[in-house]
Amino acid sequence: MDATTIARHRLHNHHITRPWLQTPPEVVGWLGAIQGQDYAGAKWSIGLRLPGSTDADIERALAGHAIVRTWLLRGTLHLAAAEDVRWMLALVAPRLIAGNARRYRELELDEPTLARSNDILAAALRDGALRERGELLAILEQHGISTAGQRATYMLQRASLDGLICQGAARRNKPTFYAIDHLPGRPRALARDEALAELARRYFTSRGPATLQDFIWWSGLTASDARAGLESIRAELVEQTVNGTQTWRPATEPPNGELPPVLLPGFDEYLLGYQDRSAVLDSHYAQRVVPGGNGMFSPTIVIGGRVVGTWQRAVKKRAAIITLSPFAPLSEDELEAIAQAAQRYGAFMELPVTQG
């Protein structure tokens, strides 16, 4: 399997070139979780997999709590479907909390303090209250708990990992929080072995072909837990050896044909969701996508399944301005195809597009 074939399968399984899901929660649920620290970019990650949707549609799903934003895999912010967030937290939160122990000590956040901050935050969000981050920090301060420096983030994260609070739609570009008990529907509960299997199923079905190491990196699970999850669903997948490495993917075959250009947001799972990204990104250009290796992923231009440049967006009241930064000169046909991809982004934002 060459790089083009890998890209074809991944674009297909990511629902970028075969979108048939109907709602934002279905897209997020298919992927399991979507990296979410870039709020605007995460919404576009859903939108490009849901033709005809708009930014406002994703906002409504977040405001209605059908999609949840919270700290999940690897302790970073993700979007997850409301029905999935509790079983995912039950699976990953204990290890994340244990991994934070040293940082808690450095910030003088002992367990009694964290328990008290949890109680205060839960009380502040009682009865369906929706509060901005700053409001919650002010309430903690009023109760004599310092929110200086990174203490604020770690207290909010801990309450989220403990399954008390989560984030909804942003208000004036600021995150809002609400009690997780106000999620719609009945929470889905899974035994630990079932949760490992389900997380592996979501990953390899939506991102294959991928390796066990890719899954370990993405999920943040221990190697033994990740392996157990994969083994439990192995019969559902196709196993292939690519360049001497075992990979797994769903049995579905992508259609042949030209792969359309795509403007991916930063942190999109098509690139981010793998430890080894060489199938779609030349290592020579990795620094252009993640400058300084600081973990901040730039939006990328994808042609033929491979990353060929980066792009920037500036959303104004009357237009979305897109600036392209290709790694190498693009042909007129490629530029025309990218212009069409840019128009799709404009339709998502419900704004005309101009190039900067």
Closest CA to 206 of 54, 81, 342: 81
Please, where are the H alpha helices in 64-106?
82-99, 101-106
**Is 219 within 8 Å of 33 (Cβ atoms)?**
no
Please, where are the H alpha helices in 236-318?
269-272, 286-289
Write the pLDDT tens digit of every residue in 273-313: 999 999 999 999 999 999 887 788 999 999 999 999 999 99
Looking at residue 56, what is its pLDDT? 97
Closest CA to 301 of 266, 331, 277: 266
Looking at residue 18, what is its pLDDT? 82
**In percent, how much of the chain has pLDDT > 90?**
90
Write the pLDDT tens digit of every residue in 138-186: 999 999 999 999 999 999 999 999 999 999 999 988 999 999 999 987 7
Tokens of 31: 């992927």
Tokens of 180: 């997780």
Q: Can you tell me the distance from the alpha carbon of 170 to that of 42, in angstroms, rounded to the nearest whole number?
A: 12
Looking at residue 65, what is its pLDDT? 96
| Identity at 341, one-letter amino acid code | A
Mean pLDDT estimate for the chain: 96
Q: Give the full edge-to-edge strand order of the sheet including 165-167.
A: 34-35, 77-81, 67-71, 165-167, 176-179, 131-132
Closest CA to 187 of 121, 89, 96: 89
Looking at residue 147, what is its pLDDT? 98
Report CA Rg, the chain.
21
Mean pLDDT calculated for residue range 172-201: 93
pLDDT at position 342 over 80: yes
**In percent, how much of the chain has pLDDT > 70?**
100
Q: Can you tell me the distance from the alpha carbon of 119 to that of 133, in angstroms, rounded to the nearest whole number?
A: 16
Distances (CA, A) of 41 to 65, 79, 120, 190, 297: 19, 11, 32, 30, 11
Find all residues with CB under 8 Å of 222, minimum gap 6, and list them. Answer: 95, 216
- Return the ∠ at Cα 42 (arms to 28 and 23), rounded to 5°: 35
**Is 45 within 8 Å of 265 (Cβ atoms)?**
yes
Residues paired with residue 210 on neighbouring β-strands, in sequence order:
248
Looking at residue 264, what is its pLDDT? 98
Looking at residue 42, what is its pLDDT? 98
Looking at residue 60, what is its pLDDT? 97
* Helix or strand (DSSP H, E) at 171: none
Higher pLDDT, 258 or 53: 53
